[in-house]
Structure 1
Amino acid sequence: MIRSVILGTGSALPARRVSNAELAAQVDTSDEWIVERTGIRFRHIAGEGETTASLAADAARGALDAAGVEPGAIDLIVLATATPDQTFPATATSVQAMLGIADCVAFDVAAVCSGFLYAVQVADSMLRTGVHRRALVIGAETFSRILDWEDRATCVLFGDGAGAIVLQGQESDDATGRGILATRLHADGRYNDLLYVDGGPSSTGTVGKLRMKGREVFRHAVTNLAAVMEESLGIAGLEAAQVDWVVPHQANARILDATARKLGLQPEKVVVTVDRHANTSAASVPLALDVAVRDGRIQQGQIVVLEAMGGGFTWGAAVMRF
């Protein structure tokens, strides 16, 4: 069989870091209110010249360096984003050009906060056919540009950033070999009105602003994320007790805690970066993964579960032996 193995990880953040206190000077909120309800303390906000593509390219360079792979060895780029640089072409093609790759398959995936999980399954499927050899899978967002900065219920929750991995298809006939063991994705469009952007090219001709009914999203997130993690572990033939690390979508510290309790996971097995990065949508899982790889927590051979849920609703999980 061919398995998709992570060779390297990378991430990128805008230069400007914004504290809760700085936000409290602009909207009716406080550091205590934000921390108590979300666990967020800081977020990074893109400035002039910083775009989804530029952040994605920086994260990709970090992943390529960590993998010891030259850009020209990449033959597939799958970029997950809900905030592309342009309506078209795909932001992935801009990243391709920034990396100096003359020719490869490059396209975007739109599944909001679950986008990186969708991109991982797409890339994994394409690598396992043997048609492609090495892929850059990227999650990148500039959500600050679709926020209503007068809505304290949403503007405090989100930040900008990017994360990337280099995936390589490798032959493996060993049940204990490295690579992606299972993925599972879901979507249910009936819940559109709970988390959405109120604009678009074909509906309003505008970009629009993010709108969310937080309490309802929280309830669905805990149920759906716990279920999809159990489902993906079952496909992989594993149990929750065998998991070394969970790298979740960094939406809200309370969601992370509640999901871990529902699965019976020890809190110390959950990688948490929401306090310093806030919710970076499709970027949050690869960003957190890169943090945990670079600080030495995640080691080769360990069982790692990635999970996320976002607008649509969409949700998914991936199990891998790192």
Structure 2
Amino acid sequence: MTSIGITAIGMYVPERVVSNEEFESRMGIEAGWIESRSGIRERRFSAPGEFASHLGVRAVQDMLSRDPEALSGVDLVIYATCTPDAMFPSTAALVAGQVGLTGVGAYDLSTACSGFVYALSMARGMILGGSAGKVLVLGGEVLSKALDQNDRDTAILFGDGCGCAVVGEVPAGYGFQDFVLGADSAGGPALYISNLADQFPDGQFMRDVPTMNGREVFKFAVRVLGDSGTQVLQKSGLQNSDVDWLIPHQANIRIIEAATQRFGIPMEKTVINLDRYGNTSAGTVPLALYEAVNDGRIQDGHELLMVVFGGGLSWAACTMKWWAGAPSLQAAAPQRGEVPA
């Protein structure tokens, strides 16, 4: 079977850094309490007039700065986001038109924080099914624009950012091995953003801003991260000890710690960056992947396990053997005065 994997990556986060101290001065929530409860020190907020399409374009531009030929042969764009610029046209189409991919297929995918791994699975399937040759996949959000900034349960947790990857053929032995995807709408009231409807099918009323039951989400997240990760390892014929790097959804450090204990994978082999970006929803996994590749932690042949959960409620997991044979898939050259890792 043809091996399908990631052939290029890029990322972008907005310039504005929002520290915990901002929330302390504005809402009276102690900065140290936020960090101790979530692991988050700061996050990025997009500028006025800066939306998901803008973040996506900048992420693709970053990728092209390291690999000018990265988009060659791309004939489909998938943007995983729950904060699209509009209901239509799709944000994927808006990005495609601005990065020289006018006329290719394009659609948005909405499974909240699980979206990027879902989109990788869709891209792989489209290629194996012959409907696409190469696929540009993006995961990004501008949740700061959707939040109620006075909601103490959500305002402190979320940030903005976008990562992207090109999915295509890679050498035999590399690339994606297996995926696990799932959803359970019964848990929807625990974490959601409403749109046109004002109530769930069971009659429960919805608010028009992101709403979360933290206790229920925590229990759900620990369970599905552990279960889906175990399932995808079994499907791939792998053991926990085979995993070089775990890349989890960056929602809360306590959730990640509990999940790693269930896996038996140490925190030392877990990629963490939520301290600097917060929860960027569909953007967390591609941002974490990019940074771990860029700083040299993830290297050619490493076995990766990605596990995510999101609103809906949804979850996804993926195993992949990393191929580092393209320019943007290797550690960045150290700057002058920097000591290589």
TM-score by length of 1: 0.94
Q: Does 1:180 align with 2:157?
A: no
What are the ranges of 5 or more consecutive residues in structure 2 without an aligned counterpart? 200-205, 323-341
In structure 2, what residue type is equivalent to 1:194?
A
Distance 2:149 2:13 in 1: 20
SS at match of 1:315: strand
Distance 2:72 2:138 in 1: 17
SS at match of 2:154: helix
Per-residue deviation, residues 1-41 of structure 1 (Å, max 9, x unmatched): 11212112111001100100012111120111101100000
CA contact (8 A) 2:81 2:110 kept: yes
Partner of 2:195: 200
Per-residue deviation, residues 243-274 of structure 1 (Å, max 9, x unmatched): 00011110001111110011111111000000
Partner of 1:159: 159
Partner of 1:79: 79
Distance 2:131 2:264 in 1: 40
In structure 2, what residue type is equivalent to 1:250?
Q
SS at match of 2:296: coil
In structure 1, what residue type is equivalent to 2:98?
M
In structure 2, what residue type is equivalent to 1:303?
E
Distance 2:66 2:246 in 1: 21
CA contact (8 A) 1:136 1:167 kept: yes
In structure 2, what residue type is equivalent to 1:317?
A
SS at match of 2:14: coil
Partner of 1:25: 25
CA contact (8 A) 1:52 1:141 kept: yes
Within-5 A mapping of 1:228-247: 228-247=228-247
Partner of 2:169: 169
SS at match of 1:8: strand
Within-5 A mapping of 1:62-101: 62-101=62-101
CA contact (8 A) 1:12 1:58 kept: yes
Distance 1:96 1:203 in 2: 32
Partner of 2:336: none
Per-residue deviation, residues 164-190 of structure 1 (Å, max 9, x unmatched): 111112473xxxx11100011000000
Partner of 1:61: 61
Distance 2:5 2:181 in 1: 19
CA contact (8 A) 2:113 2:310 kept: yes
Displacement of 1:146 after TM fit?
Answer: 1.2
CA contact (8 A) 2:10 2:290 kept: yes
CA contact (8 A) 1:136 1:166 kept: yes
Distance 1:50 1:79 in 2: 16
Distance 1:95 1:317 in 2: 26
In structure 1, what residue type is equivalent to 2:280?
T
In structure 2, what residue type is equivalent to 1:255?
I
CA contact (8 A) 2:8 2:63 kept: yes
Distance 2:137 2:181 in 1: 16
SS at match of 1:219: helix
Within-5 A mapping of 1:110-129: 110-129=110-129
In structure 1, what residue type is equivalent to 2:312?
G
Distance 2:130 2:64 in 1: 21
Per-residue deviation, residues 38-66 of structure 1 (Å, max 9, x unmatched): 00000000112311001011112223444
Instruction: Give the % identical residues.
Output: 38
Distance 1:64 1:219 in 2: 40
Distance 2:62 2:129 in 1: 27
Within-5 A mapping of 1:283-294: 283-294=283-294
SS at match of 1:168: strand
TM-score by length of 2: 0.89
Distance 1:8 1:72 in 2: 11
SS at match of 2:305: strand
SS at match of 1:155: coil
Within-5 A mapping of 1:215-230: 215-230=215-230
In structure 1, what residue type is equivalent to 2:52?
T
Per-residue deviation, residues 187-222 of structure 1 (Å, max 9, x unmatched): 00001110012x313449x99211101011001100
In structure 1, what residue type is equivalent to 2:214?
G
In structure 2, what residue type is equivalent to 1:17?
V
Q: Does 1:312 align with 2:295?
A: no
SS at match of 2:165: strand
Per-residue deviation, residues 55-100 of structure 1 (Å, max 9, x unmatched): 0111122234445525353111111000000111110000001102
